[in-house]
Amino acid sequence: MQTVLGILPDALAYGMVLFTISIGLSIMMGLMRVVNLAHGAFAMIGGYLASFALVSLGVSYPVAILIAVIGTVIVSVPFEFLLYRRIYRRSDELTQILLTIGITFFIVGIANYIFGPTSKPIPLPELLKGPFDLGFRMIPAHRLFVIGCGVVTAVALWLLIEKTEFGVRLRAAVDNGDMAEALGIRTQVVYSATFALAVGLAAFGGVVGAELLPVEPFYALRYMVTFLVVVSVGGAGSVTGALAASLLLGLADTTGKYLAPEFGEFFFYVAVIVIVYIFPHGLFGRAH
Amino acid sequence: MGWGLRSVYALAAVSLIATGARADTIKVGVIGTMSGPYALFGKNYKMGIDAWVAEHGNKVAGHTVEFVYRDEVSPNPAQSKALAQELIVKEKVQYLAGLYFTPNAMAVAPLLQEAKVPMVVMNAATSSITEKSPYIVRTSFTMFQNTVPAAKVAKAKGATKVAIAVSDYGPGIDAETAFKKTFEAEGGKVVEAVRMPLSTTDFGPIMQRIKNSGADMIFTFLPAGPPTLGFVKAYIDNGLKAGGVKLMSTGDVVTEPDLPNIGEAGLGILSTYHYAVSHDSPENKAFLAQLQKGGAKLDEVTMTSVAAYDGARLIYKMIEATSGKSDPDKAIAAVKGMEWVSPRGPVSIDPDTRHITQNVYLREVEKVDGKLINKELETFKAQPDWGLAK
């Protein structure tokens, strides 16, 4: 029992980090049909911007998160305008993969050049620093914050997609673009807004998750497989699916690390294989 | 390697010997982490070598010495071997140097005998490397060398139950073995030993495990670089520091460029290592001044710059001893038993193991003039490589 209680909070925190970063990718892949391999690169840009804002500009933590999210969206605008517009929905997957992996290498190179090869700190505010006593164990206060962020993100996104006018337009634009356009929905605007949302979520996840996935120039490549796995296990485009997948995989990985750390990511991938075998379209995915 | 390739290298080696005396430029191939997550250490190779050349000129025994750099990026033995082959065959280097990672150094070792090229290892820290070829000398350190004093300090500081956490690869396993053996011989008990994959970034679960083991001290080794920061933070944030569990490590975990990132929470961390940037000696002051003259930033200096600086000294000595001819046996014989005062303190090359004998210092992270440094508290004089000195 002691062991279970010891593992659960860590598993939950790791799962929520995976969720906040991967959900943007899930939206891109599920709703816009873009295999965006540069997603991790945008998360990394968010981390760098937050680190720069905190260390060099000396702003507070919430302001740094805002700067990171807005800044990353601004950085992504030229990419969207010049490149991504060409690959929404219609282009084949190979083009998408080549283009987005190219963007990733480009961003990795630039980050390495500007910020140098060492990992960058994202200093936490006093409130989130140090241990917090849960009664049965100590946990880094920051992890509770991460769990909170994950819950808020999940609820907000679900409301946005299922309950708002924007959500209706988005789903319409995705399901049948031509018809939506004929009905007066400006699909290009909807796509651009969704892209900005996905990028913003990546940046947000990159910042709050930096304690578990530290920001360094190879971040974009190092964790991309993990994010893709979360999306494929959860089923692309499903908020509930991404949440369930993140929590399950977080649990598998954390339990493995606790009980048999020398096996590395073995348990993570065993969980992936089992889930994908039972649910070929992901936990909550639809067959296209 | 197929016999076809083999004969190509054999031919190349023969032609090298035949033409060895002709060249008036002597090339030295340096394989280091020039890009990627470990680029800082490759940069330090260059800083150290540049400092040596700036002080001693690029002419030795009438020959011009030229350093040629290649990028090893990550632990990738096949790639490092290919780079070494290219340096030997195409660039016709007379000496090899560098090698950050143990597996990479191991992969290059078999080439040395065939090509008659001596190699100066400037980092890779697994004991057995120098046993792989009689043409290898090492100016860096080994895990055993730094860990045996760590285990003695742990006992002296009153630790009775220690948990060991190391990276799961050659040097990590060396560190674990060395600590366990020494600490148990001194009468202590190892209650937990965790091997962490090199890719680990979330150390929370490992900290919980250590906490549940009831250890009163953690001994750890991770290669200098991004993960060390996460480990130290997890140690603090999971309440182990507050709970009185001490942290003892080799210096890799608290290299100077990482200290600002660890921050004040790192105060009091103990480590044993062969070089601290704050080492107080005229040689070190002169060395650091020379590095800065060459454009290096003091915040970026690591132990690999010293290993490279001393490595260049060895290469110059070898060139001198052979008057620029390719004669690896004579070259290696010339540096065996060599003694000098390095920026890290007095050192010598062990004639049997070809590994550097040096002082190992106990240090503690302290704040001096607003800056975090590794302050040297105690000296373990003239430590051999305990892994080879069986």
Residue at B138: amino acid letter: R
Q: What pLDDT is stored for residue B374 in this prediction?
A: 93
Q: How sure is the predictor about B317, in pLDDT bands with cuts at 50, 70 and 90?
A: very high
Chain A environment of B212 (Cβ under 8 Å) = 2-3, 6
- Coil, strand or helix: which one is B136? strand
pLDDT at A116: 77
Q: How far apart are CA B253 and CA B302, in angstroms?
A: 12
Least confident of A126-130, A157-161, B243-247, B366-370: A126-130
Question: Tokens 């430590």 map to which residue?
Answer: B383
Helix (H, G, I), strand (E, B) or coil at B195: strand
- Which of the given ranges, A190-194, B97-101, B383-387, has the highest pLDDT on average? B97-101
Please count the residues of chain B. Answer: 390
Q: Do B263 and A121 touch (CB under 8 A)?
A: yes
Inter-residue contact A44 to A75 (CB < 8 Å): no
* Per-residue pLDDT tens over the stretch B253-264: 898 888 887 888
| Lowest mean pLDDT across A118-122, A192-196, B378-382 | A118-122
* Residue numbers in A near B195 (CB within 8 A): 261-262
- DSSP, residue by residue, B292-319: HHTT--GGG--HHHHHHHHHHHHHHHHH
pLDDT above 70 coverage of chain B, percent: 93
What distance in Å separates the CA atoms of residue A217 and residue A114, rounded to the nearest whole number? 10
**Residue B377 to residue B383: CA distance in whole angstroms:** 16
For residue A68, the model assigns a pLDDT of 96
Kindly state the average pLDDT of the residues A226-255. 90
Residue A117: closest CA among B76, B42, B193: B42
Question: Which residues are B345's β-sheet partners?
Answer: B342
Note the pLDDT tens digit of each residue in B89-134: 999 999 999 999 999 999 999 999 999 999 999 999 888 899 999 9
pLDDT of residue B94: 95
Cβ atoms of residues A17 and A212 within 8 Å:
yes
Q: Report the distance separating Cα B292 and Cα B300, nearest Å.
A: 10
| Token pair for B60 | 């030795």
Neighbouring-strand partners of residue B358:
B347, B383
- Summarised one tens digit per residue, pLDDT across range B40-69 is 899 999 999 999 999 999 999 889 999 999
Pairwise CA distance, residues A280 & A235, whole Å: 9
Q: Which residue of A119, A215, A222 is the best one to mutate when testing the B interface, meaning the one whose CB has the most B CBs within 10 A?
A: A119
Q: Do B35 and A216 touch (CB under 8 A)?
A: no
* CA B16 vs CA B1, B90, B120: distances in Å: 20, 11, 19
- Model confidence at B1, pLDDT cuts 50, 70, 90, reads very low
Q: Which tokens go with A70? A: 């807005």
The tokens describing B231, both together, are 């480990």
Check CB contact under 8 Å for A112 and B199: no
pLDDT score of B387 more than 90: no
- Average pLDDT value over all residues in chain B: 89
Burial of A181: CB neighbours in 10 Å, binned 0-12, 13-18, 19+ = middle
Neighbours of B373 (CB within 10 A): 18
- Which chain A residue has its CA at the smallest distance from B257's CA? A118
And the tokens for A252? 């598998």
Mean local confidence (pLDDT), B210-221: 92
Instruction: Provide the shortest C-alpha distance from residue B81 to chain A (in Å).
Output: 24
Q: How many CB atoms lie within 10 A of CB B109?
A: 21
Query: DSSP assignment, residue A215?
Result: B
The pLDDT score that the predictor gives to residue B14 is 54
CA B299/CA B163 separation, integer angstroms: 32
Report how far residue B316's alpha carbon sits from residue B337's, in angstroms, rounded to the nearest whole number. Answer: 15
Give B2-25 pLDDT, tens digit per residue.
Answer: 556 666 666 555 555 544 444 489
Interface probe with A: pick from B71, B73, B202, most Cβ of A within 10 Å: B202
Indicate yes or no: CB of A131 within 8 angstroms of CB of B238.
yes
So what's the pLDDT on residue A31? Answer: 81
d(CA A19, CA A152) in angstroms, rounded, equals 11
Across the A:B interface, residue pairs with CB atoms under 8 Å apart total 110
Nearest to A214 among B201, B236, B237 (CB): B201
Determine whether the interchain pair A14/B233 forms a contact, defined as Cβ–Cβ distance below 8 Å. no
Q: At what angle do helices A141-163 and A239-259 cross, to 10 degrees?
A: 160
Tokens of B217: 């001290």
Best CA proximity match to A169, nearest among A155, A158, A183, A157:
A183
Burial (CB < 10 A; 0-12, 13-18, 19+), residue B278, is: middle
Classify B173 as helix, strand or coil.
helix
ipTM of the complex: 0.73
Q: Which among B40, B212, B230 has the least Cβ separation from residue A214?
A: B230
More confident residue, B291 or A119: B291
Residues of A in contact with B237 (CB under 8 A): 129-131, 140-142, 211
Which residue do the tokens 């038993």 mark? B337
CB contact under 8 A, B212 and A118: no
The mean of the pLDDT values for chain A is 88
B233 CB neighbours in chain A (<8 A) are 211
Query: How many other C-beta atoms lie within 10 A of the C-beta of residue A107?
Result: 22
pLDDT at B321: 93
Whether A130 sits inside 8 A of B196 (CB atoms) is no
